[in-house]
Structure 1
Amino acid sequence: MENESHESKIDVRIIVSGLDIAQLVSKAVNNIHLENDYNIVVSSIIPTVELSIVKKVASGADILLIGGYGSDETYNILFNELKTDFNHIGLFDYNNIIVEDESIDFKLAEKEILNSIIKSTLSYSLNLINVHTLENKLMKVTHNYNNLLDDYNQVLKENEVLSQENNELMEDIKELKSDFNAFKLRYEDIYSKEILEIFSLDDLWQETFRQDLLDGDRIVIATDKFKPDDILVGQGFIASQSKEKAIEWLKIIRTALIFVDDNAGDLKKESGIGEEENIPEDKDDYDMSNTFENFWD
């Protein structure tokens, strides 16, 4: 029979050990009408078991039937050489077609060929189902792989963006550290200085003595003369380590001023009557420089 390609039909090829059996098989195949009844085509009957020839002729078959006396050595050799993931190999057993006088029974041959082909076809169909199942699984795996690959590429892009942002943040951190170190260096001795609180001289005088301050310049002059520790007065303000110390100093100044005002005549006599004193005529003659301007110098 000619070796043809039959689309959508199962391609069967039968390997036998000689021309006499090949002729018998060909006649039996024609009688059982495989193509019409079962959609099966026996495309080749190979009358030799020579491996090099068989491999060429059998290539591409869906089902291969190997003629032999059971699973003998020849069958095993051909099976191992011809079996692939895409075909099925069955046995065309001579033992089932030989009668007692060792002649071949034609009817038994037809039956054996049909049974062997049907049996192999069923196995082949099951194998196809498994192949299709594997193909479907492979398609799903491929689809999932492609999705994962897309996700991976997306992660790579996002990682590049995050890496760039991280580098920018690191630069910002370096700049902040530099600014902080400069700030720290500039003000590292701030805790070694005594910080003074500043109060309004008029408000503190009013709060302490319940009267308006009429002559703040005299307080400035007195403070400048006595130079008490941690007390500064000027420009309408008084600076001290605490409000209590500022009030304490104002009380001292007020007491002194009251004493001077009440005893002005006696003080002049005791200091020498008629003696001219170089009493400043104007407050500008006193050292009333801005005490606060250079406090931190």
Structure 2
Amino acid sequence: MDTKNPIDVRIIVEGASDVESISKAMRNIALGAEYHITISSIIPTTSSEIAKRAVSGADIVLIATDVDAPGRELAEKFQKVLKDEVGHIERVKLPFGHDVEYIDPYLIQNEIKNAIIRSGLTAIANIQVFRELEDKLSEYKENIKYLSKENKELKTKDENSSIKYQEAIELNDKLNQESEALKNKCNDLKNEFTAIKSEYKEIQDKELFEVFYINDLWKEAFDEELEDYEQIYFISNEFKPENIVVGQNRIVALSKNDAVDWLKIIRTVLIFYDSKIEDLKEEFDKGKI
């Protein structure tokens, strides 16, 4: 198991109500266990100076603002101010005019997960920096070989040039130290790249839920308008299908096919037991079942 510290993610939002939205959405996500990531703080502010102090030392900062023009402008301001303060910055777009009570937490979950994935991909793209360091290391090695050869020639030609010889030795030692430091840095970068590559593969292998509007899927699958959402909610609550969540005119599933299959089952139930559904709902409302 990796004993390195988890990746520190901090989220900046516009106000206190957005803190509630983000906290509610992330309540059931185990980012630490799945991705070795921890969301250490959610910061409600529009102040650049407060944001600077609050995100200092973070690996990744997510700026969660509305998709409207003011939200976009605030996100752009924070990105300019914080770009040199943290490891990486990503934007998270919140639905315009969102209401804390009714916002779908899965939408925010997906936005945050996608932002973290984009951060990982950007880090992988920075492998070019690692290659440049390797080129510099090779250049330093050639310099060391050249200086070592020059040292030997100077020693052979003039044994009395002890001062110059000592200076050359000291320079050689310094270059050896720099070379060793670069080797260690390259090894660290290799380890980080391996860790990021492993985390990215884990992210690719994870099954992510998708959200669909019930009415759209119903019309697409059966070529008819949906007349009663409550019956769908009632049947879903009664049978509690695995990996299916229904509510607020939406259905959440691992795939579109899974969502359509569940709607087909509901439609079959409605066709054969339509006369009993209302009775069951009435019994349920009275608390008898």
TM-score, with structure 2 as normaliser: 0.45
Bigger RCO (CA 8 Å, 6+ sep): 2
Which structure has greater helix proportion? 2
TM-score normalised to structure 1 length? 0.44
Q: Which of the pair has more CA radius of gyration?
A: 1
